Structure 1
């Protein structure tokens, strides 16, 4: 058994966790540069918590400039075991209305301007992301949302676009009608892939703010309307997060779905051929398997 630490990566609209005891902001250095911001740590209902504002306080990072590798590395260094991503999305489904939450279970990655792996030349690894979210953590998020009285959809495909612009009407129709995506956002990739490489359980709670641009009765995305919806979503997100410690508990058994053992057979580079500098950078991410 290990000690649980729930890390929350807050997207647009979620900038704090209510009720944290012994709360303090910590500056964490990583081999991948500085994370988006300092990390708020504390204890909530007897369980360690960490909070990282994905865009930085004041929203200073665009989706493409978020230092995703540094963020995941910093959380791993702090001792995070479970990572909850909370982010704003547009909806491609009539029944996934603004104000609803979606516990995402699949992704389509359309980003192209971001570093997507901790590994590379000199130390090559391939992890499976067939099931990119942790079923155990996702179930806890679903139950926490339902307990809070939030309309939560169990499962959905999140299309990650590069941004920072919103979709054209043609793109929105294609993603909805041909590709079968349910929601669209700009930040969960490569975040989910990196969390898997770091052997962290990862869940995504997507907060619907709009209908993208496909809906004939709603027209194009309006930022002022999004901000208004975000206010209500943020209150609900804080309520959901506040219920997670009771569901996950302070002690953590190995993940039944193997998230915490994702690197067991992933590294292909022979030990004698590994780049020492690359291995040193991976001390927090892959130290468990590189020291074997």
Structure 2
């Protein structure tokens, strides 16, 4: 059975619940191995390829994730749609921790990452990124999150910083003044690579904190992120169960 749906698990999501007929495959790419062997399985009759972005032991920092190998491998397996799960901080009062966001825009502030499949060789490629996400997949994600009973925001601008450190208060204030809605470390180069590979791509962003700008909430720290991630990951699993059989 053809595998057309790929899921990239973010921090805290290293396995996909309820997958059946599981097998692991190792895919070789021109950019080295992916973050981990890719798990192929079936969810309610639909074949899925699952890949934990940071590795099974969370050994890859955001800057070190082999994103080109990850997307090349998914494309090689026949995947056409990719759902990326991403932990984020909120830059807006109305977007609370434990909410979900399906972003519609990205602001790229990364500086150290390979940005294209074509950097070392090949043609000069200029992909259009005015709309960085697949509208059909975004719509399906929103509908699935609603069916799962999640509090979900239908749009937002995701500012992607280099990391792995969190923002200073000065940085956080400036980012808010730019009109961004959530902050994370993994949307780029994933969205760009998905476009180069002609893959339908969307992000399900799991809000864990208010970054460091909030005057009454505790600034972001690893303990808070992990605590809220553990709760949000189950919500993400519920959304995927609602989403995948209907794609």
TM-score (norm 2): 0.97
Contact 1:26 1:40 in 2 (8 A): yes
Report how far residue 122 of structure 1 moved. 4.2
Distance 2:3 2:135 in 1: 16
Distance 2:2 2:41 in 1: 14
Which residue matches 2:60?
A: 61
Q: CA RMSD in A?
A: 1.2
Report how far residue 60 of structure 1 moved. 0.3
Distance 1:246 1:38 in 2: 23
Report how far residue 4 of structure 1 moved. 6.0
The change in CA–CA distance for 1:25 and 1:92 in structure 2 (over 3 A counts) is same
Structure 2: runs of 5+ lacking an equivalent: none
TM-score (norm 1): 0.82
* Cα deviation digits, residues 191-236 of structure 1 (max 9, x gap): 1100000000000010000000000011321211111101110000
* Cα deviation digits, residues 125-158 of structure 1 (max 9, x gap): 1110100000000111111111000001001100
* Cα deviation digits, residues 8-31 of structure 1 (max 9, x gap): 101112111111121111111101
Alignment partner of 1:42 is 2:41 = yes
Distance 2:60 2:87 in 1: 15
Alignment partner of 1:222 is 2:218 = no
* Cα deviation digits, residues 39-90 of structure 1 (max 9, x gap): 1111111111011000000100000000010000000011111000001000
Distance 1:115 1:231 in 2: 30
Runs of 4+ off more than 6 Å: none
Distance 1:192 1:119 in 2: 15
Alignment partner of 1:184 is 2:183 = yes
Distance 2:78 2:54 in 1: 21
The alignment partner of 1:224 has SS state of: helix
Contact 1:4 1:82 in 2 (8 A): no
Contact 1:145 1:152 in 2 (8 A): yes
Which residue matches 2:161?
A: 161
1:99-178 residue pairs with structure 2 within 5 A?
A: 99-120=98-119, 121-177=121-177
Structure 1: runs of 5+ lacking an equivalent: 249-292
Report how far residue 3 of structure 1 moved. 5.3
Contact 1:5 1:82 in 2 (8 A): yes
Distance 2:244 2:167 in 1: 37
The alignment partner of 1:230 has SS state of: helix
Which residue matches 1:236?
A: 235
Contact 2:3 2:77 in 1 (8 A): no
Q: Which has the larger radius of gyration?
A: 1
Contact 2:31 2:68 in 1 (8 A): yes
The alignment partner of 1:104 has SS state of: coil
Distance 2:203 2:32 in 1: 24
Report how far residue 97 of structure 1 moved. 0.4
* Cα deviation digits, residues 83-124 of structure 1 (max 9, x gap): 000010000011110000000110000001001011145411
Report how far residue 246 of structure 1 moved. 2.6
Distance 1:243 1:16 in 2: 17
